[in-house]
């Protein structure tokens, strides 16, 4: 049996109908892009005003919870919204439906106020694929420039130490940015330590480190340059005294808090809550730290002398921690779900709360702080579910209520855009492209302001 296919020849009426459908698609897409611009404006304002700070780690985390965006898409919306705050031409083109969100999203990865105008023309002239290719080429040039600049900085690092004629040691050098940042932090810490030492020494006692001239002690406080010199000497002496090896990570990052028992049970009770160095912390902070930590009980007599020291124990034993992690699978705060966290006693153990699975919940560091120090509340219901409340007492639901959608959302969107003075038709977002091939190398040579410097730079 011979099967033959018959070619369907569209009638003029059919072609007109397809053209009408195509125009309708183009118009509605432009309306959606204009509405997206308004959405990004709202996201930027909401982000800048900290509206997401009601228990969420970021604006993207709030968007994921509130409107159901994928975390990656939410982060990208926030990034584009922030970028458009300093790119008014691209923002206006999106708001008028002239550029699609896809084009604007790509262009904001590389655009600056200085290059915005030329990149806007790229968006108007080409398709989204053209824009993506040009942006990738643009970023390759940026990476080459950054790599050359990083190599140049690395090769120019130097430190010269020599002794002057009067015996003073002269230091001159250039450090890479990260090494310089560490040095400046170390000098700041050294200045603070010396300043504290000066305040702790009685006025009639010559403190170490103060400038002397013969037997005369300088009365004037040291200048910033002198403080820097003293701080550097302290850093060097400390390094030689304690050794260059900074020590085991576990000991370096251990934080010790001394807390009175009554403070753990009641944040309003009198008593101390201090770090080992003497810095006071709030009772709420000490309660949070004690939720999931090593614990050593020390007893004192009325004079403050230690009479007994107990063995170190874990607030949450390892076996129970494994069960907690298996059950909760990460932070239980609405909209979070980070896969790691800390054990939180719903009723604190200092208040008689048992260290049992039913009285524990896994919270990430950010939301553990929110519950202890920022007024959020959590309670377990009889059915085992957790209920979170905001500081004002309102329930924070795991799934937010759906937004109200009009009966005809398309017409509502069109009406809103027309009310804002936007006149959108099927040609609004059409690129000025006639099908020619994209010469990417030529496009980058013409567009990118740093290409000429790469050509002129000597080979390395």
Tens digits of residue pLDDT in 234-292: 888 887 777 665 444 444 445 576 777 776 676 666 666 676 656 676 777 777 777 87
Dihedral angle sign, alpha carbons of residues 58, 63, 69, 74:
negative
55 pLDDT higher than 90: no
Closest CA to 123 of 113, 114, 133, 158: 133
**In angstroms, rounded to a whole number, what is the distance separating the alpha carbons of residues 333 and 56?**
9
* pLDDT value of position 388: 92
202 pLDDT higher than 70: no
Share of the chain above pLDDT 70, in %: 81
* pLDDT value of position 394: 86
> pLDDT grade, residue 87 (50/70/90)?
very high
Name which residue leads in pLDDT, 21 or 442: 21
* pLDDT value of position 299: 67
**In angstroms, rounded to a whole number, what is the distance separating the alpha carbons of residues 320 and 326?**
10
Mean pLDDT of 191-213: 63
Q: The tokens 């550097």 sit on which residue? A: 232
Name which residue leads in pLDDT, 338 or 306: 338
* pLDDT value of position 216: 38
Name which residue leads in pLDDT, 427 or 37: 37
* pLDDT value of position 217: 43
Mean pLDDT of 349-377: 87
Beta strands in 199-305 (DSSP E): 212-213, 216-217, 257-259, 273-275, 294-295, 298-300
* pLDDT value of position 422: 81
Domain-wise residue ranges, the chain: 12-152+437-454, 160-244, 257-396
* pLDDT value of position 241: 73
211 pLDDT higher than 50: no
Name which residue leads in pLDDT, 282 or 203: 282
Name which residue leads in pLDDT, 431 or 76: 76
**In angstroms, rounded to a whole number, what is the distance separating the alpha carbons of residues 4 and 80?**
53
* pLDDT value of position 212: 45
Average pLDDT of the chain is 81
* pLDDT value of position 303: 64
* pLDDT value of position 250: 40
Q: The tokens 């309708």 sit on which residue? A: 24
Mean pLDDT of 352-370: 89
**Could you please report the per-residue DSSP string of 108-136?**
TTT--TTTHHHHHHHHHHS-HHHHHHHHH
**In angstroms, rounded to a whole number, what is the distance separating the alpha carbons of residues 153 and 147?**
10
Judge whether 339 and 330 are in contact, CB under 8 Å. Answer: yes
Instruction: Return the DSSP state at 311.
Output: P
Closest CA to 32 of 43, 21, 24: 24
Q: The tokens 């302290």 sit on which residue? A: 234
222 pLDDT higher than 80: yes
Tens digits of residue pLDDT in 98-151: 999 999 999 999 999 999 999 999 999 889 999 999 999 998 888 787 777 777
* pLDDT value of position 267: 65
**In angstroms, rounded to a whole number, what is the distance separating the alpha carbons of residues 423 and 416?**
11
* pLDDT value of position 215: 37
């Amino acid at each position: 049996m011979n099967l033959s296919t018959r070619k369907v020849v569209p009638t003029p009426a059919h072609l007109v109908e397809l053209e009408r459908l195509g125009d309708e698609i183009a118009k509605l897409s432009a309306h959606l892009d204009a509405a997206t611009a308004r959405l990004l404006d709202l996201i930027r304002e909401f982000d800048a005003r900290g509206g997401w700070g009601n228990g969420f780690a970021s604006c993207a985390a709030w968007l994921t919870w509130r409107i159901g965006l994928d975390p990656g898409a939410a982060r990208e919306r926030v990034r584009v919204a922030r970028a458009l705050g300093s790119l008014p031409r691209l923002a206006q083109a999106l708001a008028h439906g002239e550029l699609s969100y896809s084009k604007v999203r790509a262009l904001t990865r590389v655009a600056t106020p200085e290059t915005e105008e030329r990149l806007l023309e790229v968006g108007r002239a080409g398709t989204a694929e053209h824009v993506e290719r040009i942006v990738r080429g643009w970023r390759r040039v940026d990476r080459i420039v950054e790599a050359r600049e990083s190599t140049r900085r690395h090769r120019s690092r130097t430190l010269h130490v020599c002794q002057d004629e009067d015996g003073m040691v002269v230091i001159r050098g250039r450090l890479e940015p990260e090494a310089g940042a560490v040095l400046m932090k170390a000098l700041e810490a050294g200045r603070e330590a010396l300043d504290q030492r000066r305040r702790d020494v009685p006025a009639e006692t010559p403190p170490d480190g103060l400038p002397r001239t013969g037997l005369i002690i300088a009365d004037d406080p040291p200048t910033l340059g002198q403080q820097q010199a003293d701080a550097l000497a302290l850093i060097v002496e400390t390094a030689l005294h304690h050794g260059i090896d900074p020590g085991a990570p576990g000991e370096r990052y251990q934080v010790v808090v001394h807390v009175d028992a009554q403070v753990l049970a009641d944040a309003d009770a009198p008593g101390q809550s201090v770090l080992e160095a003497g810095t006071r912390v709030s009772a709420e902070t000490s309660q949070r730290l004690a939720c999931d930590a090593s614990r050593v009980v020390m007893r004192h007599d009325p004079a403050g002398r230690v009479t007994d020291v107990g063995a170190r124990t874990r607030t949450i034993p390892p076996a129970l921690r494994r069960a907690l992690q298996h059950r909760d699978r990460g932070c239980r705060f609405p909209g979070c779900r980070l896969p790691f966290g800390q054990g939180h006693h719903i009723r604190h153990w200092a208040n008689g709360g048992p260290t049992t699975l039913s009285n524990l919940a896994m919270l990430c560091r950010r939301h553990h702080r929110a519950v202890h120090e920022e007024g959020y509340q959590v309670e377990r219901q009889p059915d085992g579910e957790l209920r979170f409340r905001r500081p004002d007492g309102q329930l924070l639901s795991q799934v937010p209520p759906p937004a109200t959608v009009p009966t005809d959302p398309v017409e509502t969107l069109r009406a809103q855009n027309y009310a804002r003075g936007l006149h959108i038709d099927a040609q609004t977002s059409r690129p000025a492209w006639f099908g020619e091939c994209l010469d990417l190398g030529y496009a980058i040579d013409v567009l990118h302001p740093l290409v000429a410097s790469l050509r002129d730079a000597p080979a390395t």
